[in-house]
Structure 1
Amino acid sequence: MLALTLPIGLVVGITLGALGGGGSILTVPALVYLLGLDPRSATTGSLIIVGVSSLIGALPHWRAGRVRLAQGVVFGGLGVGGAFLGSLLSTSVPQQVLLVAFAGLMLVVAGLMTRRRRSAARKDAAGEADVAATVAPMVSLRPLRVDVRAVGVLLLTATAVGLLTGFFGVGGGFAVVPALVLAMRMPMPVAVGTSLVVISVNSASALVSRLGQDVTLDWRVIGSFTAAAIVGSLIGSRITARVSPARLSLAFTVLLVLVALYTAVRSIAQLV
């Protein structure tokens, strides 16, 4: 089992560090289908793996000036309520139904990543400026003028990400990164680094809300997976500056679709 844990954790960490999110969504199916954990233990263990690896993976981004700590903590704090609610809801859903829903989430994420990648390609082809420089600021230069739409996007996204984190045990970086770009006017590299802070806060709050639930954790699996994911996240943070994000996103999207289809087929077969 350890022979599988290390390379899987490494892949998850690399994706998390390079893209600022998305990689963590592979953790749950990997823990269930490759490492033999039950879905409830997998989603809880995922919170530990994702939270710790994200926090440590944020350090190289911090040193490179790609983390806005205060804004990341605020965004994560806004999602605490959603994380608590998601953790409570997850206990009332049958495990195989949870996995089917998880497969649907993976397909949605793959679609969002594909849309974002194509949009970025069109902007590059048209020679447009970075979206972060063109979106209206959340707070206007004029006194007491607040962009209500941007604030609404921020609140809605933070709550939704917290809900997903608590329910599925995922980091939600696939939603955090575009929200930070659009609502908080961050350049993409800064949004990637800051999203790791948000993921750490959301994972911690969701994990706290699960304390006391009847869940058995395999600490040997979780510990080795987390260690490998940490190494991967540090590698991924270096990849961000050297490899085209579009190529990384494309490769990850293909992998995500394959894992989603496999998860759906396995889970639906057990339900039937």
Structure 2
Amino acid sequence: MSALLLALAAGAVIGLALGALGGGGSVLAVPALIYLLGFTPVAATTASLIVVGVTSATAQSAHARDGHVRWRTGLLFAAAGIGPAVLGGALAARLPGAALTAGFAVVAAVAALRMLRPGPAADGTERVRPGRAAAAGAGLGAVTGVLGVGGGFLAVPALVGVVGLRMRDAVGTSLLVITVNSLAALAMRAGTADGLDWAVVAPFAGAAILGAWDGRRLASKVSGSALQRVFAVVLLAVAAFMLIDAVV
């Protein structure tokens, strides 16, 4: 299969997950870029930030039109994560590829296990606890900067459990956080973007944007918990493969 077709297929799957779950799709972007499209770990994390940032911004605008973005909460999370995302982006360029791959595999495994566990119930009453929200946002920014993932798989549970948002509002708000964190991390990776293969990255991003629109429609028809379980099993297998590849 040609690189173009692989990029289109992978981008569609990642966009579908982002649109339906508010995160998670970005965790597949890096392994897809490395193992399917031949990117180095550093190039893959940079390309992932571009794809995830553009896709999240597009999907977030649709959720906002439906009234499912809580701007005050999302901006608090994002503001706390900007500094760590910038520092993480600078650090990632100096880490060896094997370390990035292993670190990514561990984060992906944690995300998969978190998705398989029952999430906290939200009462729908927004109760921002600034200290806890800022701490969660900072941790999210650091993960985004170093590993090139949007962090929605961490943002959604935090927005439900810490802030008390309903699931649909948490999904839309997480996309705002992902967009800001991705842009902040990219600010420190400008040099690593010069050598990217845009003939692959552009169609990858385009397919992800279209997939995100389908994901938003899918989320309104299929149980979110069922979608999470299927995605988590796939993600756990990918994490195991990447960890073996990094240490062997």
Provide the TM-score with structure 2 as the length reference.
0.94
Matched, 1:131 2:110: no
Please say which of residues 160-169 and 68-77 is displaced more in the overlay: 68-77
8 Å contact 2:46–2:193 — kept in the other structure? Answer: no
Matched, 1:153 2:144: no
Tell me how far apart the structure 1 counterparts of residues 111 and 58 of structure 2 sit (CA, whole Å): 24
1:190 to 169, 188, 191: 169
Matched, 1:226 2:205: yes
Matched, 1:59 2:61: yes
Residue identity opposite 2:24 in structure 1: G
Residue identity opposite 1:102 in structure 2: F
Instruction: Structure 2: state its 5+ residue gaps.
Output: none
8 Å contact 1:8–1:30 — kept in the other structure? Answer: yes
Residue identity opposite 1:72 in structure 2: G
Residue identity opposite 2:165 in structure 1: M
Residue identity opposite 1:258 in structure 2: A
In the TM superposition, what is the alpha-carbon distance from 1:69 to its structure 2 partner? 2.6
Matches within 5 A, 1:50-199: 50-115=52-117, 118-119=118-119, 130-133=121-124, 137-138=127-128, 150-199=129-178
In the TM superposition, what is the alpha-carbon distance from 1:101 to its structure 2 partner? 1.2
Tell me how far apart the structure 1 counterparts of residues 183 and 123 of structure 2 sit (CA, whole Å): 29
Match of 1:147 in 2: none
Tell me how far apart the structure 1 counterparts of residues 241 and 59 of structure 2 sit (CA, whole Å): 29
Instruction: Structure 1: state its 5+ residue gaps.
Output: 121-129, 139-149
SS in 2 for 1:132: coil
Tell me how far apart the structure 2 counterparts of residues 119 and 202 of structure 1 sit (CA, whole Å): 24
Question: Cα distance 1:134–1:65, how it changes in 2: closer, same or farther (>3 A)?
Answer: closer
Tell me how far apart the structure 2 counterparts of residues 134 and 218 of structure 1 sit (CA, whole Å): 45
Question: Cα distance 1:208–1:6, how it changes in 2: closer, same or farther (>3 A)?
Answer: same
Matches within 5 A, 1:13-52: 13-52=15-54
Structure 1: 4+ residue segments shifted above 3 A: 132-135, 212-215
8 Å contact 1:151–1:183 — kept in the other structure? Answer: no
Please say which of residues 209-218 and 46-55 is displaced more in the overlay: 209-218
8 Å contact 1:41–1:215 — kept in the other structure? Answer: no
8 Å contact 2:93–2:189 — kept in the other structure? Answer: no
SS in 1 for 2:190: coil
In the TM superposition, what is the alpha-carbon distance from 1:54 to its structure 2 partner? 0.5
Match of 1:127 in 2: none
Match of 1:4 in 2: 6
Tell me how far apart the structure 2 counterparts of residues 119 and 169 of structure 1 sit (CA, whole Å): 25
8 Å contact 2:47–2:193 — kept in the other structure? Answer: no
* RMSD of aligned residue pairs (Cα, Å): 1.6
Tell me how far apart the structure 1 counterparts of residues 240 and 29 of structure 2 sit (CA, whole Å): 15
Aligned residues: 246
1:138-169 deviation line (CA, Å, top 9, x unaligned): 3xxxxxxxxxxx32221111001100000000
Tell me how far apart the structure 2 counterparts of residues 230 and 246 of structure 1 sit (CA, whole Å): 23
8 Å contact 2:46–2:192 — kept in the other structure? Answer: no
Residue identity opposite 1:61 in structure 2: H
8 Å contact 1:153–1:179 — kept in the other structure? Answer: no
Tell me how far apart the structure 2 counterparts of residues 7 and 133 of structure 1 sit (CA, whole Å): 36
In the TM superposition, what is the alpha-carbon distance from 1:7 to its structure 2 partner? 1.0
Question: Cα distance 1:133–1:56, how it changes in 2: closer, same or farther (>3 A)?
Answer: closer
Tell me how far apart the structure 2 counterparts of residues 260 and 91 of structure 1 sit (CA, whole Å): 22
Question: Cα distance 1:241–1:204, how it changes in 2: closer, same or farther (>3 A)?
Answer: same
Matched, 1:210 2:210: no
Sequence identity, in percent?
43
Residue identity opposite 1:205 in structure 2: A
